[in-house]
Amino acid sequence: MPRTTMILAAAAVACTCAACSHQSSISSSAPPTAATAASTARAATAATPAPASTVPDIGINVSYIDHAVKPGDNFFEYANGAWLKTATIPADRSSTGAFYDIFEVTEKHTADLIRNVGAENPAAGSNARKIADYYAAYMDTSAIDKAGLTPLKSELDAIDAIKSRADLAHVLGSRLRADVDPINATNFHTQHLFGLFVTKGLEEASMQIPYLLQGGLGMPSRDYYLSKDPHMVQARDAYKTYIAALLKQAGIADADKKADAVFALETKIAQAQESLVDSEDIHKANNLWTMAELSRKAPGLDWNQYFKAAGLDDVKQIDIWQPTAIIGEAKLVGSQPIDAWKDLLVFHTLNAAAPLLPKPYEQLNFDFYGKTLQGTPEQRERWKRAVSATSTDLGDAVGQLYVQKYFPASSKAAAEAMVKNLIAAFRSGIQNLTWMSPATKQKAEAKLDTLKVGVGYPDTWRDYSSLVIKPDDALGNHLRAVKFEYELAKAKIGKPIDDNEWWMTPQTVNAVNLPLQNALNFPAAILQPPFFDPKADPAANYGAIGAIIGHEISHSFDNTGADFDAQGRLKNWWTPADLRHFEAATNALAAQYSKYEALPGLYVNGKQTLGEDIADVSGLTASYRAYHLSLDGKPAPTIDGLTGDQRFFIAFGQAWRSKIRDAALRQRLATDVHAPAEFRAETVRNLDPWYKAFDVQPGQKLYLQPDQRVKIW
């Protein structure tokens, strides 16, 4: 499930988010969103496996097709309807589907690797030893129960000692942490008032700079505090109850009163924050301020104290991604009662740590973030959470083991060949555009010339030698891992960007586009069935993983990516006429998606999902073109009564096979830049060949007149 503008991440990262929802390893503590889900895991279908096709390597599952549904009325249900009738969402998940299938396999493989490492008694200080000790500590609930709140003592003592605004600024600064999630970097919403992201400057190609991001919320987004939707109102009531319960569990006096203060302050923070749509506007994010300017423009917070505590007092300039939010939140630091801030900091400290605290804390945390917000009945088994946490905090260490065993050189070569075909197909698409001027085409092709593609795993691996991992300190291990990432991010400031740097681990079921690096990452884990199988029918491979590859390439040319040149700089390379045509086409696509009703009375926000929708349409178009190029002029065979084009489009539709709980879908609509899976499958209605493949006629629900079909790249 990749969001590819990924904004700051669009400025720095972007991805293909599918349609999953998972809680990150330790992060029932942080509100689980589709985005954090995407960066940590993808889970598997609970449906009984359907019988195989009569052709073993067809690559699609014909038994999932519902022939009672006309493709032109509902292509998602046509491709997946039989599966939808029998599939059930696992009790410990908020959704299931194709991405879940791959995640389940990857999770099992990763678990085996982690457990086997521990059984081999690895040497002290080695990556293998750290993996074994991290997993063991996570599984040691007796040690966790015995430790209680002790691992948080220094943080809680520092909060208790706050007496002045300067003290408050110091504590807030000491808690600044790096956002390393490439999908959700512009909404740093955990226990931190702000988030730090380090990458190349938007207009500066020579060095990396720090970005400051809005944060400070305990619920998934500002909408949960401000929306009048009855479900959001219910979520607010449940959240206030949860805050009080967590404080009471910690033995804090006047918990109900303090919970009210925490919620009131978070509501003010939400009111100060910028919307997701505004946060995606890269031009609004280009605000490089000096420290003196920051103090003048955003008064209320003692910025000198803040950055000194954060270890950033030598930084000369910082990009303020959401200036309205930073200004508003700084004002709140200076105006709201210090005691309210202390209550908020205590709650956020407990909330962030809850999954690795004794059982009562963990259960309260899951009951709210899992059951209430996601509609998930059961907590995931502890070993699964331990695997996810280990794979997150020691990502490259686990990743090295993963690719050694599960990603052969033959798979890497086959995937790289597909990438080359997709780039060639995208290039031919640019060359054949009738509406684009030669000058703009030249600039667009230049982006393809400099595009860097990583397949499977990075060229260099992270060095964990300085990270201390203990076999009996689960929470301490995680806190040190988070601090380790922060120090790595700080160390990048003022240094040239590594255009080959990866933002995902090999065992992540996802993909990403990095506009500032003009680079793509395709982790090993996504390069497996049902998305990719070197032995399968090319139609299926191009319809599934080919469309995902095309999606990521297209992110370099979506409504955000198109603002960056071949060197990854924010720069307009369009002629005025070409830009007007591009904007008209993208506006039409936003309008198309805004008509999709996801839940009764609740529609997709086409502006919010626009970058992903552009990438879906353009990526599928490029992949269809690449599929036909791969045939080398030969006709595609008919298999199981399906033509090559039909298999291609069905593979695409089945890639978005998904079921999701209503609560999770509601959360996703409020927080995610991807449209729900069923509507992503309907991307096909914009491609002329789809109409011919399935004899789609006027009057059918998905039919669009030729001049209404959005064609961009």
Please give the average per-residue pLDDT across 679-708, as a whole number: 97
Assign 191 a pLDDT band (cuts: 50, 70, 90): low
Least trusted range by pLDDT, from 46-50, 244-248, 634-638, 650-654: 46-50
Q: What is the pTM of this model?
A: 0.89
**Which H/E stretch holds residue 423?**
helix 409-431
* Residue 673 token pair: 């830049």
Please give the average per-residue pLDDT across 194-219, as a whole number: 91
- The pLDDT of residue 559 is 84
- The pLDDT of residue 586 is 94
- The pLDDT of residue 499 is 83
Burial (CB < 10 A; 0-12, 13-18, 19+), residue 130, is: buried
Q: pLDDT tens digits, residue range 426-435?
A: 999 999 999 9
List b or e across 673-701, with b for residues whose CB sees 16 or more CB atoms inside 10 angstroms.
Answer: bbbbbbbbbbbbbbbeebbebbebeeebe
- The pLDDT of residue 31 is 30
* Residue 16 token pair: 């293909």
Q: Are strands 519-523 and 288-290 parallel, antiparallel or unpaired?
A: unpaired
Is cis: bond before 530, omega within 30 of 0?
A: yes
Residue written as token pair 């990262």: 13
- The pLDDT of residue 120 is 85
Residue pair 618/713 in contact by the 8 Å Cβ criterion: yes
Residues 31 and 671: their CA atoms lie apart, in Å, by 11
Domains and CATH numbers, the chain: 7-46+57-108+396-463+505-708 (3.40.390.10), 149-356 (1.10.1380.10)
Asked whether the predicted pLDDT for residue 634 surpasses 90, the reply is yes
Structure letter (DSSP) for residue 3: B
What order do you get walking across the sheet with 14-15 strand by strand?
A: 14-15, 512-514, 519-523, 452-456
Q: pLDDT tens digits, residue range 326-382?
A: 999 999 999 999 999 999 999 999 999 999 999 999 999 999 999 999 999 999 999
Asked whether the predicted pLDDT for residue 510 surpasses 80, the reply is yes
Residues 155 and 147: their CA atoms lie apart, in Å, by 15
β-strand partners of 7: 9, 11
To the nearest 10°, the Cα dihedral for 125, 126, 131, 134? 0
- DSSP assignments along 552-621, one per residue: HHHGGGSTTGGGB-TTS-B---S-HHHHHHHHHHHHHHHHHHHT-EEETTEE--TTTTHHHHHHHHHHHH
Name the amino acid, one letter, at 280. E
- The pLDDT of residue 43 is 28
Q: How far is CA 357 from the centre of its chain?
A: 26
Distances (CA, A) of 523 to 213, 422, 431, 497: 27, 17, 30, 20
Q: pLDDT tens digits, residue range 133-153?
A: 999 999 999 999 999 999 999
- The pLDDT of residue 56 is 43
292: Cα within 13 Å, side-chain hemisphere: 0
Q: Who has greater pLDDT, 283 or 355?
A: 355
Contacts of 478 (CB under 8 A, 6+ apart): 26, 356, 389, 393
Asked whether the predicted pLDDT for residue 630 surpasses 90, the reply is yes
Assign 29 a pLDDT band (cuts: 50, 70, 90): very low
Residues 681 and 64: their CA atoms lie apart, in Å, by 14
User: Whats the size of the chain, residue-wise?
Assistant: 713
Asked whether the predicted pLDDT for residue 292 surpasses 70, the reply is yes
Distances (CA, A) of 57 to 349, 538, 541: 51, 10, 10
Assign 99 a pLDDT band (cuts: 50, 70, 90): very high
- Over pLDDT 90: what percentage of the chain? 82
Q: pLDDT tens digits, residue range 416-460?
A: 999 999 999 999 999 999 999 999 999 999 999 999 999 999 999
Residues 665 and 672: their CA atoms lie apart, in Å, by 10
Classify 471 in phi/psi space as left (phi over 0), alpha (psi -120 to 50) or beta: alpha
Picking from 371, 184, 340, 367, the residue whose alpha carbon sits closest to that of residue 257 is 340
Provide the 3-class DSSP secondary structure of residue 98.
helix
Asked whether the predicted pLDDT for residue 645 surpasses 70, the reply is yes
- The pLDDT of residue 491 is 96
- The pLDDT of residue 119 is 85
- The pLDDT of residue 23 is 32
Residues 34 and 36: their CA atoms lie apart, in Å, by 6
Q: How far is CA 665 from the centre of its chain?
A: 15
Please give the average per-residue pLDDT across 282-299, as a whole number: 94
Picking from 452, 461, 548, the residue whose alpha carbon sits closest to that of residue 509 is 548
Picking from 623, 424, 402, the residue whose alpha carbon sits closest to that of residue 507 is 402
Residues 438 and 417: their CA atoms lie apart, in Å, by 28
Asked whether the predicted pLDDT for residue 52 surpasses 80, the reply is no
Asked whether the predicted pLDDT for residue 495 surpasses 80, the reply is yes
Residue written as token pair 């014909």: 62
Residue pair 700/134 in contact by the 8 Å Cβ criterion: no
Mean pLDDT of the chain: 89
The interaxial angle of helices 610-630 and 547-554, nearest 10 deg, is 130
Q: pLDDT tens digits, residue range 576-613?
A: 999 999 999 999 999 999 999 999 999 999 999 999 99
Please give the average per-residue pLDDT across 47-54, as a whole number: 35
Residues 1 and 4: their CA atoms lie apart, in Å, by 9
Residues 196 and 269: their CA atoms lie apart, in Å, by 18
Distances (CA, A) of 112 to 108, 109, 115, 398, 399: 6, 5, 5, 11, 13
- The pLDDT of residue 404 is 96
Residue pair 659/97 in contact by the 8 Å Cβ criterion: yes
- Over pLDDT 70: what percentage of the chain? 90
Asked whether the predicted pLDDT for residue 631 surpasses 60, the reply is yes
- The pLDDT of residue 203 is 87
CB atoms within 10 A of CB 506: 28
β-strand partners of 318: 289
